[in-house]
Chain A
Amino acid sequence: MSTQALFGQLLIGLINGSFYALLSLGLAVIFGLLNIINFAHGAQYMLGAFAAYFLLNKAGLSYWWALVVAPLVVGATGVAIERLMLQRLYKLDHLYGLLLTFGLALIFEGVFRNEFGSAGLPYSAPESLTGGLNLGFMFLPRYRAWVIGASLVICLGTWFTIERTRLGANLRAATENPTLVQAFGVNVPRMITLTYGAGVGLAALAGVFAAPIYQVSPQMGSSLIIVVFAVVVIGGMGSIMGSIVTGFGLGLIEGLTKYFYPEASNTVIFVIMAIVLMVRPQGLFGQR
């Protein structure tokens, strides 16, 4: 096997890693404030990809527009879901939130499978990002380089917003003690709604990134979200930076596995999860 193939797999690993990072980041932000694991996250990622597809084919809006519009539209549906449904569950066991969002994921996926079948729809990358660079040791498609770079920027931007700005400080405070933060005059319910919307928007953005790489298909989210759950268990949801590092790291490990022992590439992340659970149950970056 050649180094060309090795670098090719590492590149795919980094691409997958950026999706793991973006999705687990959204899950962590939502979990922090809502105490809910958003099972619909994969479906909302799929909605983002479909939104990009519709914007291009029905409204004639390019990829660049989709990057802005799709997260806003899908995020808005998230806001509606939080206002109409999730809000009623906060006083109950957290597991009900998981069950509700699981039901929503089934509905979204079912509706799109009904409409578009299981086959994927093609979505081509914008003109300016086609082609690639020959780096000597490997060929780097421009679009893939862009996805990795853009995901990194978005991830670090989210980290900065949460850890270094006033808004983020409010958010972290509300995660610790919502009642006290509300007493200080912060509209916590609105913050919770917008946080869910933002987390869903992040998933949709990942979906737009994914549309030109994978085909746009109804079940593109469901298998991904299970891997992302394992990523979240490995990283622990305590830290934002932890989610980012774990996401990219596990993507790379998966890529390496594809090169050295392809039979295990589907399961390597789950095996790592099992090992982490034995050695450090709270996750690599989690706090007890």
Chain B
Amino acid sequence: MKEPEIPQNLTSRDEIWEARYHRNSFLLMMVVLAIAPWLIYPQFVMLALCFGLFACAFNLLIGFGGLLSFGHAMFLGMSSYFAAYLAKSGLNLETVTIFSRPFTLGLHMAPLSPALAIVAAVAGTTVLGYVAGLLAIKRQGIYFAMITLALAQMVFFFCLQAPFTGGEDGIQAVPRGKLFGVWSLSDDMLMYYVVMAVFAAGVLLIYRIIHSPFGQVLKAIRENEPRAISIGYRTERYKLAAFVLSAALSGLAGATKAIAFQNASLTDVQWQMSGEVVLMTLVGGMGTVFGPVVGAFVIVAMQFYLSDLGSWVAIAQGIIFVVCVLAFRRGIVGEIEAWLRARQRP
């Protein structure tokens, strides 16, 4: 497959402005995040960072590929189960039962260190993303959303019934272990900065993907798929690649969350979680680079500080959905960007 070459010297004033704007926002965000745990409850910021990365990974699909997945909880949840299980019990596959017939494997592995558990969980989620992606990209638009939702529900039932997930109880008391075998992560502050580093790396990777030639093709497919096909791109491959990347990054968020919060539970694979990540992205701004992070902070803050209100949180989320769709489709960051752009070009 020969790729058409993209001319290098077409950087316009707009693009220069955009690059500078993104760099400055990123640096500002890092400074704020670095001092945040001294000012507000670190657990909260850590949770928001995990969901922020999750929402950014989701946004890679909807914002830049135009694909609305309604089943991203399967990647977050499955990955957190993988990481929690590997970090707590290692891998013990003496026998595997398939259709009530036991097969002897005799596979034993000691519990993994946190970094290795995360890497292994991301690898597992990537495989899941590849399989789910192969099925989902067969259809487009609304069908794509329904298929991903149905696949995620299947994963949910799997997690409910499979022996290794602990069913309704989930996996509790996952050890944080030692980072690279040296630094103990039981220190909350160190854990926070590790999560922040993972988050920063994930966001930078997503930024890189969006602004690579691959990301440009993805945008072309979003704008006009038949045209992208006629130019000679095999669009399903691009969509599948975007889906797998998004799944893997969601997996990174889920695995980090499992280690940082020392548990994995069914809430992370439920369909409500798939809805929440859509909401975070919508509130922050679909198709903006940092919008989903802002959205994640807003939604997590709502759950964190309004948790006494019980089901009112769900009602509030529903209302925000309706309001965003009807009147606020650009989201918080989208509105700010539009304002900045208007100011920049009078």
Contacts and interface: CB of A to CB of B under 8 A. Distances in A.
Given A110-B314, A226-B271, A277-B139, A100 B326 contact: yes
Overall SS of chain A's interface: helix
B312 A230 contact: no
Interface in B28-78: 68, 70
B321 A273 contact: no
Interface in A96-143: 96, 98-100, 102-111, 113-114
Interface residues of B, number: 39
A271 interface: yes
B146 A232 contact: yes
B336 interface: no
Nearest to A278: B135
Contacts of B325: 89, 96, 99-100, 103
A202 B153 CA distance: 25
B321 A106 contact: yes
A273 B146 CA distance: 11
A267 B150 CA distance: 10
B55 to A, nearest CB: 15
Interface in A217-238: 222, 226-227, 229-230, 232-233
Contact of B312 (A98, A110, A281): A110
B320 A103 contact: yes
B154 interface: yes
B143 interface: yes
Interface string B158-192: 10110000000000000000000000000000000
Overall SS of chain B's interface: helix
Interface in A157-184: none
Interface string A277-288: 110010000000
A222 B271 contact: yes
Nearest to B313: A110
16 contacts: A99-B325, A100-B322, A100-B325, A104-B318, A106-B275, A106-B321, A110-B311, A110-B312, A110-B317, A111-B315, A229-B149, A230-B150, A233-B139, A271-B154, A277-B139, A278-B138
Given A103-B320, A222-B271, 20 more contacts: A37-B145, A94-B142, A95-B142, A99-B321, A99-B324, A100-B321, A100-B325, A100-B326, A103-B318, A103-B322, A104-B318, A104-B322, A106-B321, A110-B311, A111-B315, A226-B149, A226-B153, A226-B271, A233-B146, A277-B147
